[in-house]
Every structure is written in structure tokens, then in C-alpha cells.
Structure 1
Amino acid sequence: MADFNALIEGYREFRKTGWSRERARWSELAEGQSPKVMVIACSDSRVDPAQIFNVRPGEIFAVRNVANLVPPYETGGGHHGVSAALEFAVTQLQVEEVIVLGHGFCGGCAAALTGQFDDAPSGEGRFIADWIELLHNARDKVRDAHPELDRAAFLAMEQEAVRVSLENLRTFSWVREREADGRLRLRGAFFAISDGILHLLDETSGRFSPA
């Protein structure tokens, strides 16, 4: 597994090969970015959206966090990193699509489903507990349908997280307005780590199917 020294070696290799090969592209990107797609993905080290979608630098605006979650619109206290990134991508970069990318064997979704951090003290685990609280309603729905909490339950939770984020995206007025007039399209996707297959959500049927 890579440590810091391995990362520096990787950077040097990138400078010799990847950067030099794409030098014209990097010069162009130094003048600004204009991605057409925003991807909201999980921080999980196994799920790199640039690798999954095989894109070049500057082609996607990516935000990653635990369990690929979007909080609902609210203006209360605190810092709103995901909301700020969303606002920047939609209103300033004017992306045309926002993809919520969930994935298999997601630790954040598993913690939400099992209640692993429900009783976390004020110290370790508290930030995780507060964040995945966004999935509590979905958790209740999944637990009712899968009381045995088998693998099907965890898969259902992972896919519910995508639906929750799509629902929350639509609480932002400037997302709703652009979706309504056709300037913006919202999509849900799910990447199965075990077999490498990407599934797309049909919001009409509520089902995920292989791309």
C-alpha cells in the first residue's frame, strides 16, 4: 500500500509521463475550468470517480465525503462544504449534470444501518454520527424491509443513500429551477466494487440497472 514516499515517487512519474503527455491540456486548464458534470462521491479510497469514468483532468467537478451525502438546504450555523461546492458547480461553473455516485461495501452506510456510532461520546465518532444522521429515515425503511440485516440490507442502504442525496439536492432552489427548465439533470449511480459494474438509477421505477 502507498505511503507518503510512494506518493512522491508517483508524482515524479506523473511529471515525467502523465503531465508531459497532457502539457497542452494543463496549460489550457491554467486559464480556467469548464466541466459539464459534477460528481458527488464517497471518500472511500476504492471509489475514485475519475478512474471509474476514465476522464481527463478538468472534465468533472468532484466532491467526496462519507457515504456520498448531500445535506438538505439550510442556512443555520456551521460550515457547509458540500452545499458551497454544489452552489459553485451549479451557479458559477454551470454544470449540466450532477451525478450522485454510491458504491458497494460503503462503511458510512454500514455505520448508519447498524447504528455503530449512535451512542458515540462527544469525542471520537461524534462527527461521523452527526453526518450519517442524514440517513436515519432511510435506515428505518431498510431495517423494516430487512430486519435480519443481511448483505441485501446493506446493499439497500447503499442505494438508499443515493436516493436521499438526490432528494436533498432538490431542496436547493437553484437546483430545482435549473432541473425544471432543462439546464440541469440529476442522476443516481452505484458502483459495485466486487465486479466493477456501474448501475444507473431509473427514478421512475426506482431501480438500479447496469449501465
Structure 2
Amino acid sequence: MAPFPPRLLAGYRNFMAGRYAAESARYRSLAREGQSPETMVIACCDSRAAPETIFDAGPGELFVLRNVANLVPPYAPDDRHHGTSAALEFAVQSLKVKNIVVMGHGRCGGIHAALNPSAEPLSPGDFIGQWMGLVAPAAEVVASNTLMTPAERQTALERISIRYQIQNLRTFPCVRILEEKGRLALHGAWFDISEGELWVMDAETGDFVRPSLGETL
């Protein structure tokens, strides 16, 4: 049997000596009283775009759901397995979060796959291909635009997809009702890995803008 990854053990030692030692009281409080984060972040699995790191969040601050390309399947109350929907249900109905942020990022592999559906699947199941079918209509339109470079098409779909996911969030009755009552707010964001830039979606226009560092997001 292979040993546990040494890098993870070294990281854990640093965690115990550093962050846990400094915040042990908070961890004990969270264990005793439970979590009550105000914000859910739906982000990509990509190891380069971790929400807790980007937003400098402490323990218990963010309820994070990560999947390939930060997608939200539309509401489908059937007997199939719905991991994303289950996490959303828990965040909204049990934790009663006040904000849901869909955060995409630059150079997303899932979005690249959606723009290149003819590429060889990674496995016979083609799970990524099927999953990215959720944005296939938009991907087809963007991919057909020959006036844009491949990099421009990639960025365009990454941002368009965020707007799609927010639309899908509103297909969930609990989300739609709470948003209409002003008890839940939906947000979009896009993170540029190479420059560390965060772009926030304007709720009215759908445009992505750079917030000033002194601005509350």
C-alpha cells in the first residue's frame, strides 16, 4: 500500500503549528456550535482557483461546492443522484446562506472541452463531455465565432457560462422564492489565474467589471 502523500503530512504539520494554533478557539466553537456561513461559493475543481485562498476566508466563513467548470444543473426533482443540487439544497434550506457566488476562472479545462467537443474522450464514459453538455448551446455559438481568437472564445464562454449557471439557480424554487423576498442574493465572479484579478458580474447588465480594492464585494 502506498504511503500517505508526504507533502500533505508536511502541510498538516504546518497547519497545526500555525493556523490551527492561532485559531483553535474558533475551530472548537465551530465544532461545538456548528457552521453558519453567510455565503456559498460554487467554484471549479481546478487546483489553481481555490475560493478560500482567493477570498482569504477563515474556517466556517464559506460553504464551498466545487465541480468541473462550476456548473449548476437545472432543477430536476427525480430519483437520480444530484450532488450539486444536494449541496445547494443544504446551503439554502439548512444553513440559510444569504449569498450564492458562482465563480468561474480563466483557462478552465471544462470550458475548453465544451469548445472542443470532437476531442478524444478521457474515458469510455466521457463523463466530462456529458457534464459539459450543460453549456453546449452557448459553446456552439461561441465556437462558431471566427472573429475571435481561441483565447478570446475561451474567456467569453467562461463568463457566459457563469450567467447560465445563475439562470439555472433560479430554476430551484427555494432559490427563486428567497431571492424574490430579498433574503438571498445571487452573484457571478471570474478569476484570472495568471494575474490574480477578480472580475465581478454586474447584476443589472451582466457585464464583468473589476471592483476597486476599497469596494465591498
Report the TM-score range of the alignment, normalised by the length of the smaller protein. Answer: over 0.9
Query: In 1, Cα distance between the equivalents of 2:148 and 2:201?
Result: 25
Cα separation, 1, equivalents of 2:144 and 2:201: 22
Counterpart in the other structure of 1:134 = 134
1:162 alignment counterpart:
162
Report the Cα offset of residue 77 of structure 1.
3.9
- CA deviations 1:99-141 (Å, max 9, x no partner) are 0000000000000011145x749x4451111110001011122
> CA offset at residue 146 of structure 1?
4.3
Paired residues for 1:9-28 under 5 Å: 9-28=10-29
Instruction: Assess if the C-alpha contact under 8 Å between 1:146 and 1:153 holds in 2.
Output: no
1:16 alignment partner AA? A
> Partner letter of residue 22 of structure 1?
E
Structure 1 residues 173 and 146, CA, compared in 2 at 3 Å: closer, same or farther?
farther
SS at match of 1:39: strand
* 2:201 counterpart residue number: 201
Aligned twin of 2:187: 187
Percent identity between matched residues is 45
| C-alpha separation in 2, matches of 1:146 and 1:175 | 37
The answer for the alignment partner of 1:53 in structure 2 is: 55
TM-score, normalised to structure 1, is 0.93
Listed as ranges, the gaps of 5+ residues in structure 2 are 212-217
- Give the gaps of 5 or more residues in structure 1: none
Write the distance in 2 (CA, Å) between the matches of 1:192 and 1:116. 26
Deviation at 1:178, TM superposition (A): 0.3
Q: How many residues align?
A: 207
- Note the 1:1-211 alignment, pairs <5 A: 4-31=5-32, 32-116=34-118, 120=121, 123-124=123-124, 126-146=126-146, 149-211=149-211
Q: Distance between the aligned counterparts of 1:20 and 1:86, measured in 2?
A: 32
Distance in 2 (CA, whole Å) between partners of 1:203 and 1:23 is 38
* 8 Å Cα contact 1:67-1:108 kept in structure 2: yes
Q: SS at 2:208's partner residue?
A: strand
In 2, the alpha carbon distance for the partners of 1:206 and 1:59 equals 26
TM-score (norm 2): 0.90
Q: Which moved more, 1:51-60 or 1:69-78?
A: 69-78
